[in-house]
Structures are given as structure tokens and as C-alpha cells.
Amino acid sequence: MIPFLKMHGLGNDFAVFDARKQRLAFDATQARQIADRRRGIGCDQLIVIEPSSDADAFMRIRNPDGSEVEACGNATRCVARLLLDETRKQKVTLQTVAGILVCEDAGGGAVTVDMGAPELSWERIPMAEAVDTNRFTLTVEGESLTASAVSMGNPHCVLFVDDADAAPVATLGPKIENHPLFPRRTNVEFVSVRDKGYLRMRVWERGAGITQACGSGACATAVAAFRRGLTRDHVEIELDGGVLSITLKDGHVFMTGATALAYSGTFAFDTK
């Protein structure tokens, strides 16, 4: 029986395992079993906290399809909350595949994460061909869409639409995720601008589908909106699960939002 914590950031939920004192190396098949909402714990991502010689801890992330991903903003806040409470520090560092993130207690259970500098060049996102990532045309089944692309350690394709609530996230999301222009697939954000300081966003996450929130997606959206002149350098972004505050400062993206511990438990793999 392996202990775990079930946590969420604005409804974006995670099964969190601590491998700092015991070795836990889940493969893709085991990750899919844990993430299964009928036969496993059920989660948007599987998170494993590991030792790090360069930070307070290392965070490994797997999607429900078993694939390993570089970054997850909401999971970063959740794991940072655990480390902040454990160490009684005001600030901790968390290493991911995408790099080391500085996380600070924002009070009331909230956490601010310096998500680093966004990548804006098509090669670094990465994309299959040279485009102006600020605004380019994406052709999906004969339909031309205007999009922006940003990497926050993981790729994002941002579409500005009239009404995010009416956007075809479930049908268009997977088509864009697997578009040939994105060789590593992509997360997809559907965004409507309410005013210069407020956005409404829905998301199709790479390897996970529709989720209640996406922290790195909110950061990418804030960057894309600011580049287009649609918003200021501080914006509130309303997701299905709640609101994140995003600030662009000194070339970095800072994300502030709530975290929650839903429950703790133990898990045993089905070996049948």
C-alpha cells in the first residue's frame, strides 16, 4: 500500500506521491492506472516528489495517458504548499524537467510561483516551421484560425474567441493538440477578453483533455494577450475552477492562486 495525497489547484486535481524517502518509479502503465477515475485514484496529473541536490525537491509529472510532461503550474503550487508547510519557510525552490521554480507563500493557503521567462521563438516552443508566434494562421480541417504560441516550459496554443464558454473545446482541442505544426503536441487555450485586466479561459490540456484549470496555460495566455495589446501586465484569469492572478514583471511570469488538500489515502496496484 503506497501512501498518497489528493490535492487540487482550482479543481485541476493531482495524485501526489512522496518519493524522497522511498523510491517510486511509476511507468506509463502504472500512471494510467492511478489516473483512472473508475479503477484508480483519478486525477488530471500524477505527481511524484523526489529528492533534488539543486532545490528543495524535484517534481515529476505524468498525464493520464502515461506521458511525462515538463511543467504544470497548478501542481507546482500544490507541491510548493506542502514544502512551505513542512519547512516553515516563506520561500522554497522546486525543480522540474523545465527548470527550477521559486515559490513563495502568498498567505491564506495561496502560493506565488515565478514561472520564469516565456519562450516565444517557434524553434523553442517547439513548432514544426517558422511562424510569427504572436499571430499566425492555423489550418484545422480546412478552417483557418488565428492563434498565438507560447512555451512556459511546455507548449501552448492560444486562441482568442468571442465567447470562451461557447468555444468547441472538446472537439477542436484534440485536433489542435495533435496538429502537425506542434511536434510535441500542445496545450490549447480558448480565451475571451472581458477587459484589460480580466480574461475568461477554458483549456484542453495535452494528454489530459478538458480540465478545470491550467496554471501554465493561464501564464501563456497572459503573455499572448499582453503581446497582442489586449491586456495590461497584470491580469485576472477566470478558469472553470476559479481565478488565477498573473503578473508579468522583469521578463518573468508570476502566478498566484489557491491550493487545497482534498484527502490522503493509500493505493495498491491492480495486478490482475
Catalytic residue among 43, 78, 157, 214: 214
Give the HSE-up count for residue 226: Cα atoms under 13 Å, Cβ half-sphere: 23
CB distance 74 to 12 below 8 Å: yes
Of the candidates 69, 90, 70, the residue with the CA atom closest to the CA atom of residue 80: 90
CA pair distance 156, 102, nearest whole angstrom: 22
For the record, the C-alpha cell of 16 comes out as 501526489
- Degrees to nearest 5, angle at CA 43 with 104 and 75: 15
Known catalytic residue at 72: yes
Catalytic residue among 72, 78, 103, 157: 72
**Distance, C-alpha 270 to centroid of its chain:** 29
Q: Which residues, 6+ apart, have CB-to-CB distance to 178 below 8 Å? A: 185
Residue 164, phi then psi, degrees to nearest 5: -60, -35
Residue given cell 511509476 in the structure block = 26
CB distance 92 to 80 below 8 Å: yes
For the record, the C-alpha cell of 66 comes out as 502515461
* Residues involved in catalysis: 72, 214
